[in-house]
Amino acid sequence: MYTLKIRRVRNSLGVILPKEALHKLRVRQRENVFITETPSDTQTACNSDFAKAMEAYRKVSTKYRNALNELAQ
């Protein structure tokens, strides 16, 4: 577990990741990191396949909302 401090970056807020966390997440400068909430905890993903899957989900989520809700049950 890492403790991250929220800092002001111009008109936004940001965090600085320690080298150990960057190495563990296998991320480099300018890569995207996705943070998702689950009922039990918060998870991170920095995988390009994850980004593609989320983009595909966004495209169909509103059109097939009822079907996705049924599948979730």
Lowest mean pLDDT among 1-5, 19-23, 41-45: 41-45
Helix or strand run (H / E) with residue 44: strand 42-45
Question: pTM score, two decimals?
Answer: 0.45
Q: Which tens digit of pLDDT belongs to each residue from 34-53?
A: 777 777 776 666 666 777 77
What are 20's two structure tokens?
A: 């150990």
The pLDDT value recorded for residue 8 is 94
Count each helix (H run) and each strand (E run) in the chain, helices first: 3, 4
Which pLDDT value is given to residue 45? 62
Asked if 29 and 41 count as a contact pair (C-beta separation under 8 A), the reply is: no
